[in-house]
Amino acid sequence: MLLVIDVGNTNIVLGLYMESKLIRSWRMSTGENRTSDEMGMFIYSLLNHSQNEPEKLENIIISSVVPNIMYSLTNGIRKYFNLTPMVVSKKMKMNITLDQVGERELGSDRIVNCVAGYKLFGGPIIIIDYGTATTYDAVSGDGRFLTGITAPGIKISADALFSRAALLRNVELELPSSLMVKSTVESVQAGVLYGRIGETEYIVNRLKKELNCPNTIVVATGGLAQTIAKGSEIFDHIVPGLTLEGLRLLYEMNIGD
C-alpha cells in the first residue's frame, strides 16, 4: 500500500492506494504547531481505525506548500511507520518539463497537478485548482509548462467580504440556480461564485486565444471545483482527487531512484 499526503495551506489531504486504486482518503486541518508524535500517531490511527493495517504500508510520498510543518510530519512518519517518506521536488523524474518560471515559482502541489493532468488527458491542457488560492496552469501538447496564474481562493475572497461588511454573515458556498436572487444569503452566494465562474471563463478563453489552441483541454480540481462546474460548461473534466493521483504517479516514476 502507498500513502500519499498533500499538505496545503488550509488542509492536509491523505489518500491510501492499493496499487493504482484509491481505497481511502482523509482530510485534516493544517496545524503548524503539532509535534512529530502528534503527527505520526494521528496518521497511524487513521489507518488503524479504517481497518487498514499500518504495518502493511510500503511507502509514503508527500507534497507540501507549508515548509514549517515538514520536520514534524517527516519525523513522525519515520517514528511511527519506520519509513522515510519521498518528498516531491523539482528534481524528480516527471512527464512534464518546467521552464525557468516553473522552476522558480511553482509549488509542489501545482507540479503534481500538471503531472497528473498531462498523464491522464494529454495536452495542451489547462489545470484549474480551486483551493486556498485559485490557480491556472497550462501545459503544452509536448509536456512543456507554459504559464501559471494565481488568484485569491474562493473561500479567502468570501471571508474577506464577511470580515469587512458588518451586516453580512458567513454563508454556505452553494451556487444559486439563478442570478435573480431574493435574499442576502443568495446575493452573497451569487456574487462570490458566479463572479469566480466569470473569472474562470475569461482566463480560460484568454489563455486558449494566446496559446492559439481553442481545443485546449480544461480540467478542474480542488474542493469547490464541482460547485463551480454547476454554473459553467467550460470544463472538459472534473477531477476532485487530481493531486492525490499525481502523487501516486510521481511515486511510480521515481521509485527505486
Domains, the chain, in order of start with CATH, read 2-87 (3.30.420.40), 100-247 (3.30.420.40)
Q: Is the pLDDT of residue 67 over 60?
A: yes
Q: How many Å apart are CA 203 and CA 230, to the nearest integer? A: 18
| pLDDT tens-digit map of 21-43 | 999 999 988 887 889 999 999 99
Question: Residue range 14-23: average pLDDT?
Answer: 92
> What residues are paired with 251 via a beta bridge?
none
At 152, which helix (H) or strand (E)?
strand 145-152
Query: Percentage of the chain with pLDDT > 70?
Result: 95
DSSP 169-185: --------S-S---SHH
Tell me what pLDDT residue 166 has: 54
Question: What is the three-class DSSP state of 231?
Answer: coil
Q: How many Å apart are CA 30 and CA 81, to the nearest integer? A: 20
**Contact, 86 vs 60, CB < 8 A?**
yes
| pLDDT tens-digit map of 141-152 | 999 999 999 999
Is 109 considered catalytic here? yes
Question: Residue range 212-229: average pLDDT?
Answer: 93
Tell me what pLDDT residue 170 has: 67
Catalytic residue, chosen from 6, 37, 99, 109, is 109
| pLDDT tens-digit map of 117-128 | 999 999 999 999
